[in-house]
Amino acid sequence: MASAVLMAVLPLEFPAPCALAHSRKVSHIKKKKTRPATKASQPRKPQASPPAALSNDISLRMIIVSSKDRAEDILGRIKKGGSFARIAKAESLDRMSGDKYGYLGAVKRDSLDKNVVNALKGLKEGQVSGAIPLEYGLYGIVQEIDPALYGKGEAAFRQGDYASASRYLGRYVDVNPDASVSRIMLGKILESEKRFPEALDMYKKAVEFHPEFGTGYLLLGRLYLKLGRYQEALDTFSEGLKHSKSDLLEEGRVNAEILLEGRKSGLH
């Protein structure tokens, strides 16, 4: 099973990869060691960003593949600008972390497999390791991330210090493109600055990575309404309702329909 792969990397007592603040113990999976399934259908949950790591912890993303050649191929794609998170989502054999764009969570460095620990030496935030041999003949690639950037950005956003928030969250999103809540905050900042095309793009990416994230559809649809792009607003609210049953999304859909009908009929 897929979770057996994590046992080659994480200790028994550490949390499995998590979305938002939810965590699950991996102790229930240490019953037998079998090769992981390549694809397993699991429900997706919203993932705002990794939770803050403890001072003696490290936060990681990981891609697990079947061979060194495969790992080297992926490393080549990353060096050419490929997104670590997107590749993890599409290709990592461990679906528990893969479904979360490779996010393993905050773990203690000295509890990791020694090959992973060695690979992490000298790595800085956002950098990617080489191909790491694991159990079962598998190979891994890890990327260290810094949750503190999200914490600083969120605090600055709440305090209205948008310049600092943009700086911290921008750096965070560069390494964590799936951080939808960070993208929402950046979108709100861009919208407040009347940088509407950039705000639209930021909201679109928030729901692209996490289609179940209703807030992204809500803000995107409302901005379309503000810009008088009623058909796009209607399409956005309608798409959001497929993923998140929300009274606010339904209200937005109705408003978009009314405005669109008024435009088409010429009635005011």
pLDDT at 234 over 60: yes
| Predicted structure pTM score | 0.71
Is the pLDDT at 15 greater than 50? The verdict is no
Residue 6 pLDDT greater than 60, yes or no: no
Highest mean pLDDT among 15-19, 25-29, 90-94, 188-192: 188-192
Residue 9 has pLDDT above 70, yes or no: no
Buried b (16+ CB within 10 A) or exposed e, 45-74: ebbbbbbebeeebbbbbbbbbeeeebbeeb
Where residue 139 falls among pLDDT bands split at 50, 70, 90? very high
Residue 119 CB contacts under 8 Å (≥ 6 apart), including other chains: 129, 130, 132, 142
Residue 124 CB: number of other CB atoms within 10 A?
7
Could you give the CA distance from residue 24 to residue 67 in angstroms, rounded to a whole number?
28
- Kindly tell me if the per-residue pLDDT of 93 is higher than 50: yes
What are the chain's domains?
Answer: 3-145 (3.10.50.40), 149-265 (1.25.40.10)
For 166-225, what is each residue's pLDDT tens digit? Answer: 999 999 998 899 999 999 999 999 999 999 999 999 999 999 999 998 999 999 999 999
Identify the residue with better confidence: 152 or 245: 152
Confidence band of 268 (pLDDT split at 50, 70, 90): low
* pLDDT digits 0-9 by tens, 241-257: 999 889 999 999 999 99
Residue 247 has a pLDDT of 95
Q: Can you give the pLDDT at residue 138? A: 94
Residue 61: which pLDDT band, with cuts at 50, 70 and 90? very high
pLDDT at position 53, please?
A: 41
